[in-house]
Structure formats: structure tokens, C-alpha cells
Amino acid sequence: MNFLGNKPAAPEESRAGRKHADEHRIVRLYKDHPTCDISIDEFERLALQRLRVLKKVEDLKLRGKQDEALMTEVMTSIRDNNLEGSAIEDPMRADQLSHFILRLSYCGKPELRKWFTTQECELFRLRFIDKLKTEDDRALFLQREGLAYTAVQTSEREMVQQKMKEVLRSSGNDGDIKIEQIFKVPFISVPDLVSQRKVWLHGGFAYVGQKDLVSLVAQDFRINLSKGLASISRRWREIFPDSDQRLRPLVEGLSQRYLGPDLGAAGNQARRSDLTVANLTSVSARHFPLCMHNLMQTVRRDHHLRHQGRQQLSLFLKAVGLPLEEALIFWRSEFGPKVPGDKFDKEYAYNIRHNYGKEGKMTEYTAHSCVSITRMTGGADEHHGCPYRRMDEASLRANLATLRCEPARINEAMQKKAGGHFQLACACTFQGLHAGADLELGINHPAQYYLESRRVYDERESAGGSSKPAAIPEAGAGPS
């Protein structure tokens, strides 16, 4: 892929001398496309580094983090993921490349464009505040990016300052604040400042103080990014023809990548050697997330699951440690009342062995992450996907009540569902079933839910078993 080229590492003293300037240059509108070659491995690494930061921004905002707490955690995530380069890399390079790589991945569907734009705008806003602290810093940025905002002339400056102070006083802010440079812009350019009563409105214009310049610049950032995404979307077939079977699948899959630990990999901590058909009923009742619990209930009740439901449950059972031999026993016994043994061996056993890497290409397939599951769709007679998305509120409330989830947490889960935050709704259920347990990172993978549930249960059992999480009741439980 043709992107910005590698640059030789600068001497230590030169890097130190450029540090302040680099911090300013890292805040930009991304108007210029990078042009040079990078490897496929670096392409993927840079994309995932930035994606982790954007996911962190989203998670912190959803959890209500603001101001200094939000700034501190996002800047820590930027450093941890080398988004601004490592000690021997040009800090501009990783940032610019990763941004434009993700533009390729998030330019298609409207919901992807909206998500990417929202997180990138918030990241830009936080960086602007963090890096450009002085009036000179901000003036250099405006000059570099070619942003010519109209400054209020000296002749009317005193009058405008007085009006802005009156606005600040009326909204409960300190009206005695010193207002430096003031910009005159159309009021539709700063809707957030208008809603917060931080600007003076007059004649269709908003008067913006220097310290609130970030809102004005963020609007230009959003407009530029939206145009860029639309341009790539129109040229998608030209950039990635149907014959491209190397880079195109990677780009298309980035938006669905699970970024946590590989909970489906062999030897991972999510797998436990104690999971068998004999204890699967009790373990699933206590430790499975709602999506997997529902699939278990369905297969026990109907003695059948449609293909996508079988795949979702089968890969999860593999991820949490059910051996292949036990998996074959489980599926054969559950399907037994409706599927004769020879038909099972012919139509279903191959697919189960294939999931475990024992057939076909001998590839070990990983379990679906929450991102993948929430995007699944299906008919009324199919039970795969995320129940927090697919169920209506009444059905979901009934299911959570059956699980004996705390009423307050059920209400909280309903609020998260209504807002489209399905993974946070699942986290609310976890906390409602594991009273007192904190789930700071949210739920990103069904196997993560399982692992956390077993950890909480084991810790409480070791402490005396006085406050074990309640077991989820099984409807029609027991092997068929």
C-alpha cells in the first residue's frame, strides 16, 4: 500500500529539540494523504494501534468520564499503543498512517462513518487542548492548517467582550474571566457552544473566545473528515477491486476486530480443563452470558439449532475449554431425539471437528467477539446474535428477571439497550448477577464474561462462600 515513507531516526539531541514542535504538528486536520510503501504487517499493526485508542475514547465517554479524567486516560492509551510513534520512530508517521488506514475501513456503511467520525473528533478535541496550551501555539496551528477565522476588530472588541461576559454571568460562569482574542463565525458552526451558552449571538453570528477555539476547529475537522470518507467510499471499487484477495479482506474486517486478549486461542486462560458434558449444565447456568445461555436453553428445548446458532455456541464452548470429544457427545445427545446417529455423523459432526481444526484446512477457528455477535441478524425462528439487540424490552426484562438479576441492574441494562450500548447492557447484567463485582472494562467477548464469572465465584468460594453469585435457573435442564 502506497503510504508515507520511513524516515531515518534522528540523533537524540535533534529529537529532543524537535519534541515541542512535534507535539504541535501531531494536531492536524489530515488534509494531505501519505504517499509511500509500507508492509502488510505494519499496515495492520498501525490500524489496530489507533483502533484501540478510538475504542478507549468511546468506552470512557460511555462511562461518563469527563475533563481531566478523560484526558489522562486517553493520553495514557495513546502512549501505550504508540499512536504517536515509539522512541525511534517519527511521531508524525504512525499517527498519519493509522488515521488514513482506518478511513479505508470505516468509509462504507453510514453507521461506520458515524462511529469513526465521532471518535476521531473527540480524539482531535482532546489533543488540541492537551498540545496547544498557549495563544501562540494555537495561532501557529491555524496558520499551518490554513484556517482564517475572522477576528473581532479592535474598534468593537471592548463591546463584544462585555456582551460575552454578560452571557457567562447569566449561565453561572465567572463573568470576570479575561477574554483574549475573539472570533466571529456563523452560529451554526459551534452548536455545542451555543447550547452551553458560552458564546454571544448577534446577527446570525457567534462570538467565540480564544479558549473555546477548539469547538470551532473541531467543526472544520469533522467537515474535512466527512468529505474524505465520502470520497474514499465513491472510489472503493477503484482502490480495492474484486480481484484483491490480500488487502481488501483485511481492510473490510478491521471494523469487526476484537481487540482484547485472544480468548479463543489454544492454551488461553479462558480455557479450563474441568469443563465436560457432565458439568456443562451447572457451569452454563452459573457462568454463561445471556447470548450463550439462550442458545443452550434453545438446544435443550428444541433439540436443534440453525447453522449460525450452532456456530456461535460451538465456537464459544471450544473457547471456554470443552474438548472436541466432549463437544461431539454434547451435540449428539442434544440432537438425538430428532436426528438419528448416522445422520448426525454425516451432517453435523464434520462441522464440529472443522471448528476444532481437525478437518478441512486444519485451522482453529476462534469464537465470535461481542462486536461480531451484535451485528448478526436472523429470522424469528433463529436464536443467534446478541439478545440485548434482538429482543424487545418486554422479552429482555422477562429473561433477566428469570436469571434473578437485580431489578436496579435490569433497569440500567434497559437504558443501555435503548441507547444502543449492548455490551454495556451485558455488563450491567453481569453486575446484577454478581453483586458487588466491578467490571471496569465492560464486556467485549462472551468468553471474557465466562472467565470473569468464574473468577468472581472462585474468589468468593475461597473466601468462605458466604456471597456466591446465585446460579441461573435452567428451564428444562438436563441432557436429552
Q: Which residues pair with 182 in a beta bridge?
A: 209
Residue-level pLDDT at 87: 62
What residue spans of 171-268 are helical by DSSP H?
191-195, 213-234, 236-239, 248-253
Question: Cβ-count burial of 108 within 10 angstroms (0-12 exposed, 13-18 middle, 19+ buried)?
Answer: middle
pLDDT number for residue 384:
93
Q: What is the pLDDT of residue 334?
A: 94
Dig out the grid coordinates for 307 from the structure: 447453522
Phi and psi at residue 404, to the nearest 5°: 70, 40
What's the pLDDT score for residue 200? Answer: 83
From the number of C-beta atoms within 10 Å of its C-beta (0-12, 13-18, 19+), residue 226 rates as middle
Which CATH code for domain 12-144+220-256? 1.20.930.80
Domain boundaries, the chain: 12-144+220-256, 145-214, 277-462
Alpha carbons 123 and 268: distance in angstroms, whole number: 33
* Mean pLDDT, each 10-residue run in order, the chain (480 residues): 45 48 78 88 92 89 82 91 74 90 92 92 93 85 85 78 78 58 81 81 83 86 94 92 86 77 48 81 93 95 93 94 94 92 91 90 85 87 92 94 93 92 91 81 85 89 61 42
Q: How many residues does the structure list for the chain?
A: 480
DSSP 8-state assignment for residue 292: H
What pTM does this model have?
Answer: 0.65
Cell 438425538 found at: 336
The pLDDT of residue 222? 93
| 364 vs 216: CA distance, rounded Å | 50
Give pLDDT, residue 10.
42
Q: How many whole angstroms separate alpha carbon 445 and alpha carbon 451?
A: 10
Tell me how far apart the alpha carbons of residues 73 and 65 are, in angstroms, rounded to a whole number: 9
C-alpha cell at 258: 476484537
Q: Are 221 and 31 spatial neighbours (Cβ–Cβ below 8 Å)?
A: no
Of 320, 323, 317, 295, the closest CA to residue 453 belongs to 320
CA distances from 419 to 115, 414, 461, 463 (A): 14, 9, 36, 38
